[in-house]
Amino acid sequence: MNGLLKIPMQLIILFIGVMVFVFYQFNTPPIFFNKVELNNIKNSNYSNEVNNLENEFKALHDKKTVDIYSLLDAQKNEEKVRVQELKRSVLTTERKMHEINSNVKTIVLKNNPSAETNDKDYIFMSYVIDYLPTGVIGLLFAVMFCAAMSSTASELNALASTTTIDIYKRSIKKKENDRHYLMSSKYFTLLWGILAILFATTASLFENLIQAVNLLGSLFYGTILGIFVVAFYFKNIESNAVFYCSIAAEIIVVYIHFLNHYQLAPSWLQMGYLWYNVVGCLLLILFATLVQKIINLQKAI
């Protein structure tokens, strides 16, 4: 039931995210989405400077909106030259708006050196609070919390059950009673909860939450995908080969990320973090195939 509910919830949130992007193409967004810090600089010695930047920002956005409307008309009339001119104009205006936004962030840091200048995580919430009806706001936040809590509960239960049954019961305590395994699963749930919290604390190291989720997922999803691919399409590869090769593939993926993060990777190894999914999957398949052939040769000898 929870899984069935999460699908429409996620679709609604995704739809609102698309609408936010479209909305701010035709309506002037805040010059800085973190309203707390924006109000602080407006009440500081930098107020006049910020107000001037805000007026310039609004004028640029108005020009951009006019260009977008003209661009839509030009596309309908199939005026290719005019379309290209308007696209360049829109992009130029956007660059100027980004420069103003960067200037505002500089002022925010001058006013408060410990302030958070990354306001991307405030865009969605600012739109919801400023433009959606009160009842819909409460419903949307309830939906988001329900989806998050449902996913977290499912993940912790799955991790605790797998740890208890597949590792603890099979390899450590093989002949205990049901009460013992029940208590063990509770302790493993607590352990995985603590590890999840530790992972969550790393979110502040990333540019935004979406990047954090995609990066952390990309570090592990490729190897997991490789395990499923081997299980479905490479029936001759045994579990031991897959297990050890998955560890090796995961270590290599993490090492590649380390090189890319600290800009130590050679040119042929430089890649976006979403490619880690492909790399992890292919490495696991390659390693498992080679290891299984070595095992088969040893058995033959």
Residue 152, pLDDT > 80, answer: yes
CB atoms under 10 Å from CB of 227, counted, come to: 20
The confidence score (pLDDT) of residue 67 equals: 93
The C-alpha atoms of residue 299 and residue 301 are separated, in whole angstroms, by: 5
The C-alpha atoms of residue 47 and residue 59 are separated, in whole angstroms, by: 18
The confidence score (pLDDT) of residue 276 equals: 93
The confidence score (pLDDT) of residue 286 equals: 96
Residue 209, pLDDT > 70, answer: no
Question: By the 8 A CB rule, do 234 and 288 touch?
Answer: yes
CB atoms under 10 Å from CB of 225, counted, come to: 17
The confidence score (pLDDT) of residue 141 equals: 80
Separation in Å, CA 100 to CA 23, 57, 208: 20, 7, 20
The confidence score (pLDDT) of residue 208 equals: 61
pLDDT digits (tens, 9 = 90+) for 39-88: 999 999 989 999 999 999 999 999 999 999 999 999 999 898 999 999 99
The C-alpha atoms of residue 169 and residue 165 are separated, in whole angstroms, by: 5
The confidence score (pLDDT) of residue 133 equals: 86
Start-end of H helices in 112-238: 123-131, 134-162, 178-201, 209-233
Tell me the pLDDT band of 2, cut-offs 50, 70 and 90. very low
The confidence score (pLDDT) of residue 280 equals: 94
Higher pLDDT, 170 or 148: 170
The confidence score (pLDDT) of residue 134 equals: 82
Take residue 113 and report the two structure tokens written for it. 């050196």
pLDDT digits (tens, 9 = 90+) for 244-293: 999 999 999 999 999 998 888 898 889 888 899 999 999 999 999 999 99
Closest by CA to 45, choosing from 119, 101, 111, is 111
- 231-266 burial code (b ≥16 CB/10 A, e <16): eeeeeebeeebbeebbeebbebbeebbeebeeeebe
Q: How far is CA 45 from the centre of its chain?
A: 37
pTM of the shown model? 0.59
The confidence score (pLDDT) of residue 48 equals: 92
Q: Which residue has the tokens 């069935």?
A: 4
The C-alpha atoms of residue 122 and residue 90 are separated, in whole angstroms, by: 24
The confidence score (pLDDT) of residue 205 equals: 60
Mean pLDDT to the nearest integer, 175-200: 90
Separation in Å, CA 180 to CA 37, 102, 156, 166, 206: 52, 58, 19, 15, 41
Residue 1, pLDDT > 50, answer: no
pLDDT digits (tens, 9 = 90+) for 78-116: 898 999 999 999 999 999 999 999 999 999 999 988 887
The confidence score (pLDDT) of residue 227 equals: 93
The confidence score (pLDDT) of residue 207 equals: 58
Higher pLDDT, 201 or 281: 281
Question: By the 8 A CB rule, do 108 and 115 touch?
Answer: yes
pLDDT digits (tens, 9 = 90+) for 126-143: 888 888 888 888 887 887
pLDDT digits (tens, 9 = 90+) for 10-21: 676 677 778 888
